[in-house]
Amino acid sequence: MDRTIHLPIDETALERAEKKLCDTFGVSSFRPHQQRAGQNIIQGISTVYDVPTGGGKTLSFWYPLFYYSEIDSCSGKAVLVISPLNALMDAQVKELEAKGIQAEDLFEYDSTDPSKPPMRRLKHQVIITSPETALKSSFYEQLLKTEEFKSACVSVVVDEAHCIAEWGGDFRPHYDAVGKLLARCPSHVPVLIASATMPQDVRELIRETLDLGDNYATVAVSNAKSNVRGLDLGVSGCVDD
């Protein structure tokens, strides 16, 4: 699966986007790993993003939304987040809405309810759902395959990606099929694969399960307490840094 495009970056829009994102989330500046992961996605480079708990990885999830809103305030771009836990989704939606970012939790999406098709959620900037929901054929038909979604989606985030290695098999078999989900998403959309727990063997298993091939970047931070110093901006395959 080659999701490497290398789109150019508008530096002026990027500077404005970073300032607005920092102001919105109450941080003074971006850490290098946040900038690298976010800018990779803007450039169309799928990225494995390994940052310890407390490292602020979720800021990078919303980085492209703020960037594209600076390019065109009416662009209507969206991010699709695949998340493992209902409570985590709910917490993320509440945090985003509190900061003025439109978000929707589709954990309990019912495809039999005609009043709640996922197409309606494209008024939201962030759509958060589970692998079980995202792999439903109705989700593909009503959202993933639509031209509206293809033009709006700027990234797919696989959050808590270590669950692919830990929860597959009999426990949550849909985690073994997340690669199929990504194959259903528009091929031009980069993927951000994020976790706080991805040692090398887990990264390799995730790479194989998601069929990433060699064309992706790696942004990793040491689990040492001084984690902002242990930065590894490794790049795999033919993706140039």
- DSSP states along 32-44: HHHHHHHHHHHTT
Domain ranges of the chain: 11-109+117-232
Block residue for tokens 């919303």: 62
Across 18-51, b (16+ Cβ under 10 Å) vs e yields beebeeeeeeeebbebbbbbbbbbbbbbbbbbbb
Distance CA 190, CA 1 (A): 11
Inform me whether the pLDDT recorded for 232 exceeds 70: no
Say how far residue 229 (Cα) sits from the centre of its chain: 24
Closest CA to 209 of 172, 235, 155: 172
pLDDT, tens digit (0-9, with 9 covering 90-100), for 114-129 = 555 554 555 668 999 8
Average pLDDT over residues 172-194: 85
Distance CA 74, CA 34 (A): 25
For residue 128, what are its two tokens?
Answer: 């958060």
For residue 188, what are its two tokens?
Answer: 């031009």
Block residue for tokens 């709910």: 90
Torsion of CA 141, 102, 2, 165, to 10 degrees: -90
Q: What is the CA radius of gyration of the chain?
A: 17
Average pLDDT over residues 30-36: 94
The phi-psi region of residue 26 (left if phi > 0; otherwise alpha if psi is between -120 and 50; otherwise beta) is left
Distance CA 235, CA 189 (A): 18
Distance CA 173, CA 199 (A): 22
pLDDT, tens digit (0-9, with 9 covering 90-100), for 50-86 = 998 888 899 999 999 999 999 887 778 999 999 877 7
Please tell us whether the domain made up of 11-109+117-232 is placed in CATH 3.40.50.300.
yes
Closest CA to 107 of 116, 99, 98: 116
- Mean pLDDT highest for which of 61-65, 106-110, 206-210? 61-65
Q: Residue 203 has what pLDDT?
A: 87
